[in-house]
Structures are given as C-alpha cells and as structure tokens.
A and B are shown apart, each in its own frame.
Chain A
Amino acid sequence: MKILLWPALACLSFLAVSCEDKVDDSATPNGIAELHVHQVVKNKLVESGGTYTLSSGRKMQIDISAFYLSNITLKSMEGKEYSFPAALFIDNTEKENVLGNLPPGTYTSMTLHFGLDSATNHSDITQYPDGHPLALQEENMHWSWSTGYIFMKIEGSVDTTASMQGPISSEFAYHLTTDEFYKDIKFDGLSLIVKPGQTKEIVLQMDYDQLFKDINPAKERQTHTTNNKDLALRMWNNLENAVKIE
C-alpha cells in the first residue's frame, strides 16, 4: 500500500492544480439566452438604403440605424435576477446576440439599457479587438475628438417638400449620446420559458415610426445631442414606446 501512496499523491496533485473547469454532470444544464432585434418602420424591416414612409406621410431613406444595448437583466418567476452586462452593438444586419447562460425556468420581466454606462462609455476604444461590440465600427459609433460612444445613430435622407411627394434628397443625422442618455427600459409581462440545454431567443422590435413621433424630420434634421439637446431628448423619450418585445 505504501508503494502506491506516492504515485497516488502525484496524481491527486495533478487533479488539484489542473486549470480545466470541472463539469458537474449531475446539475441541470443551463439554457442559452439570445437577443434578436428587428428594426422596422411600421412593420417594414429596415435595411440600409431602404425607403420608408412614416405615419405622418413623410418619406425617408435610412442609411444607418444603429445603437448600443447593455446591462440586460432577466428576472425569473421566483424573483431571481440574471444579468448580462456586456454591450451589444445593434445594426440592421441579421445577427444573433448571445447574452449567455440562463438557468432553466420561466422569466417574466426584462430590463435593458440603451447606451453604455459611464465607465464603458469613456473606455479606450482602441483596446477592443476587431469584431468586439465596442471596437470601432464602420458606422463610426464613436467620437474622434473626445472619448465617448454614440449611443444611437440614425442617418439618411428625407423628403422635405410640403406635398411630401418630392425627392428624398435632404440629409438627416441624429446622434444620441453622452452619459446622460444612458436609459433603462423595463418589460413586464415577459413569458420566456427556458428548458435545459435550450437556446431561447428574445425578439425585440425597434419601430422608428414611433421614435419619430412628434418629430418632423423635414424640419428637425440634425442633432449631435450637445448642439441640439432638446431634439435629442424628445427622440430619446420616444424610446419607451418605440421598443417592444415581439
């Protein structure tokens, strides 16, 4: 028996210092939560360069429609909360945004944040690798003269004629940004049932028609937030009604 002791100790030390995560096979496997966002104008999916008509009758072409979501929390029926702090970059390309592992159960509410918290908003953008949500994007979701991200960017062109039958040729640009615009939205009445090992998708809809409620893009065509805060705030305040879970 003594002869076997030392090899056994060696093997035990190997197990003790191994860096591999141990899988508890007896535990119920988690599901995976994903977020999918449909950007629409009155149920018509937004594509880059597509033309759309608002409820007001105003026609516009949307070239860029992108925004950041972050700090998403799901709450179960039992009242437990599971948070996914990572930032997500949402544009109008088809992609799945994996939130992370979620224990099986029924989830009845979700809280998410538009924009980025202050620490993230002022982080060094150059540190993030290509493909990271916070890396430099083709849509230029950052300021080059200051630290800070553009939380939401909508750019394109609009028909500004009184008849609303003219060319869609006047450019617009809405850049919503700064720490002040970091906003949480809560969705009650969620019914998300996650089963063991299942990937479950939460589908969010962003309706730009609602975002432009009481905003006339023919006359109010530009805000970079700091230069036209009133317009930025009005658009931001429309978010509550512009976003819903499908």
Chain B
Amino acid sequence: MLLKLNKTFKAIALIFAGSIALFACQEENNGIDTNPDQYTLAIPTGFPNPSIPSDNQFSKSRVDLGKELFFDPILSFDSSIACVSCHAPAYAFSDTNKVSTGVLMRKGTRNAPAIINAAWLTSFFWDGGVGTLEQQAIGPIENHLEMNNSILDVVARLKKHKSYPAKFQKAYGRGPDVFTLTRALSCYERTLVSGNSRFDQFRYQGKDVLTAQEKRGMDIYFGEKAECFHCHGEYNLTDNSFKSNGLYEVYADSGRARITGQAKDIGKFKVPTLRNIAKTFPYMHDGSLRTLEQVVEHYNSGGKNNPNKSILINPLNLTTQEKADLVAFLKSLTDEEFGR
C-alpha cells in the first residue's frame, strides 16, 4: 500500500513539476490577435514569395481596414483627398496627371508612382528614401503638397471615429495609433499584386496569346537591339536600382542624391516596374513624357549628355517598325484584372 502511494505521489509530483516547467516562462500575450482571420496572398507564377514583416502578417480584417483607410479622405488635413486620389485603381494605382494635386490644389513635384507589386519592393519613393511600406505611409500624409497633415492628428481623428477604433481592435488587437495605421495601409497595399498580363501568360503559362508584332517587340526588349531587360528585367520588370536615363542634361530634381548627398547620384531615380505601363502614363519621375511612343523615342535617341547617365543608355538606332513593335509589346504588359 505504501509502495503504491509512493508511486502515485511520484507521478503527481512529476506532472506538477512538468506543468510548472511548461507554463512558468510563457510570455505574456502582447494583445495582438494570434489567430487572425485567414488571408492568403496570391503569388503570380514566376514570382518568389515576398518578405512580409512579422509584425504585419496578412489577415482579412487587416486588409479590409487598410483598404478602407486607403479610400478615406480622413487622412488629409481638410478631408479632401485620399490615397486613391493620386493612386487610381483604373490606372494601375497611378495618377494620369504629370504631378498630383494635393490639398488646396497644391501641385506636387513628382509623378505619383504606381502601386504595383509593392510587396516585392525594397525601397519607396522615386529616390528610395524609405525602405518599408510602413514608413512610406507617413510621407504623403505629412507632405504639405499632398495631404498636409500630421500623422498624430490623423490618429487622433481615428480614435474619435464612430467605427474605426473597433476595426483597428479587431485587426491589430489595439486601437488606432501610428503603428497600426501604417501597418493597415501597407497590409492592403501589399495585396495589390499584378502578374497576369498577356506577356505573363505567354512566358509563364505557355499560352500563345501574343501577336506577331508583340513577339517581335518582346525580342527587341529582351535582345541586344534595345536591351531594356538590363534595367527592366526579372519577374517584376525592374532591377530596383537607381539610374539616370539621361532625361535631362541638367536635372532640376536631384533624385537619389537627395538621400545620399552624393553628386554621383544627381539625376538618378528608382527604376520602376514596366508592368501595366500602358495604364500608368505619363512617364518619368516628373511625368514629362506623355506617351509610350515618346518614351521609346527618348531611349532610341540615347538620352541627353549627363555625367551620371547610365552606361546602358545609348542610341538604339531602331527603325520605325521596330519602335512600333516595341510599343506593342509594352502594351502587352497590361494585366486587365489588376485594379478591378
């Protein structure tokens, strides 16, 4: 009897000790929902998995919240413009104006970049001033030419809103603050994925959906004739570098040099993706080229003399037919479903 009691006692003691060991050092839940509603990002064929920040994993409630904020003029100081005002879905989340119009009809200084496949980008703004989408969200809100607001004032507004506090709580386990506001916006922006143009279907899905002219243009793009692929290659049709394409002899906008402070970076801007390029006119950092034909003509000319111009920019000597073929191919980069 005594032996049995001993064994029982040992078992209980061991279970007790084991339980203490298992639970003693459990970290406190920091209030963030650890069971988010499921959201799966659709990765296009040919794309690698994007790197998603650990503090901003996808969930349906986060994406919905971010989308609502993206379309809400509450972010601007006079509630007159929203993100969508300069990033229109019908134009691949770009602006058809040379430069965007902010509050009080103030004009910006650069063409609004299209928001395409931002989940795969490593720098934001034309000069690559910030490295995350979360940090990027602050820029337009506080730029006096754009939304002209203080992000702290935006947070204060959201806290007083009749429905936002509950939506933030559901998405992030806490109310509106700088952290959750920037994360909600960027969570939504990461869902803006484009990878199903006819070129993608041809290249990655084996579908013969390009015309003969588009195929000729594709050969010019990826061949030695134009070598566009050097800067606009890879799965997202950009190498994410900063280059000067010789648009000007002297640049009014210092470009990347604004960030690095180095003279060698004057006139260099982020190489944008060419996905949906037919929808994201006008072109260049200042929106100075209105049509794809003008863009092709610029590159065909070899650009202007500028000490920082990329060595990859040289006269192409394309024929009239070849220029037309190249433009046709560029138009095949449109993903008709994107932005709908």
- B201: Cβ under 8 A from any A Cβ: no
Interface residue? B179 (CB, 8 A): yes
Is B150 in contact with A17, judged by CB distance below 8 angstroms? no
Size category of the B interface is: 35 or more
- Looking across the interface, which residue of chain A has its beta carbon closest to that of B25? A19
Q: Are B129 and A129 in contact (CB under 8 A)?
A: no
Query: Is A9's CB under 8 angstroms from B182's CB?
Result: no
Number of interface residues of A (CB under 8 A): 30
Pair A147/B10 contact, Cβ less than 8 Å: no
> B179 contacts which of A129, A147, A226 (Cβ < 8 Å)?
A129
CB of A144 within 8 A of CB of B142, answer yes
Binds B, one of A49-57, A63-71, A130-138: A130-138
CB-CB under 8 A for A3 and B9, given A10-B16, A127-B179, A145-B143: yes
Q: What residues of chain A have their CB less than 8 Å away from a CB belonging to chain B?
A: 2-3, 6-7, 9-10, 13-14, 16-19, 124-127, 129-130, 135-136, 138, 140, 142-147, 178, 226
Q: Give every chain B residue within 8 A of A140 (Cβ-Cβ).
A: 142, 150
Pick from B10, B24, B125, B178: contact of A126, CB under 8 Å: B178
Within 8 A of A (CB), among B135-194: 135, 137-139, 141-143, 150-152, 177-179, 182-183
Which residue of chain A has the shortest Cβ distance to B137 in the bound complex?
A126
Given the complex of chains A and B, what is the CA–CA distance between A197 and B17 in angstroms?
Answer: 37
- Tell me, yes or no, whether B1 is within 8 Å of chain A by CB: no
Report yes or no: A146 in contact with B17, Cβ–Cβ below 8 A: no
Would B10 and A13 count as touching, CB distance under 8 A? no
Are the C-beta atoms of A126 and B129 separated by less than 8 Å? no
Contact (A147, B131) CB under 8 Å given A6-B10, A136-B151? yes
25 contacts between A and B (CB under 8 A): A3-B9, A6-B6, A6-B10, A7-B13, A9-B13, A9-B17, A10-B14, A10-B16, A10-B20, A13-B17, A125-B178, A126-B134, A126-B138, A126-B182, A129-B179, A130-B177, A136-B152, A136-B178, A138-B150, A138-B152, A140-B150, A145-B129, A146-B127, A146-B129, A146-B130
Contact B14 A6, beta carbon cutoff 8 Å: yes
B213 part of interface (Cβ distance < 8 Å): no
A7 and chain B: residue at smallest CB distance:
B13
Are B178 and A135 interface neighbours, CB within 8 A? yes
B206 contacts which chain A residues (CB < 8 A)? Answer: none
Q: A9-B13, A146-B259 are contacts. A17–B21 as well, Cβ < 8 Å?
A: yes
Residues of A close to B129: CB separation below 8 A? 143, 145-147
The answer to the question of B55 belonging to the interface, with a C-beta cut-off of 8 Å to chain A, is yes
Q: Which residue, of A124, A126, A146, A147, has the highest number of chain B Cβ atoms within 10 A?
A: A126
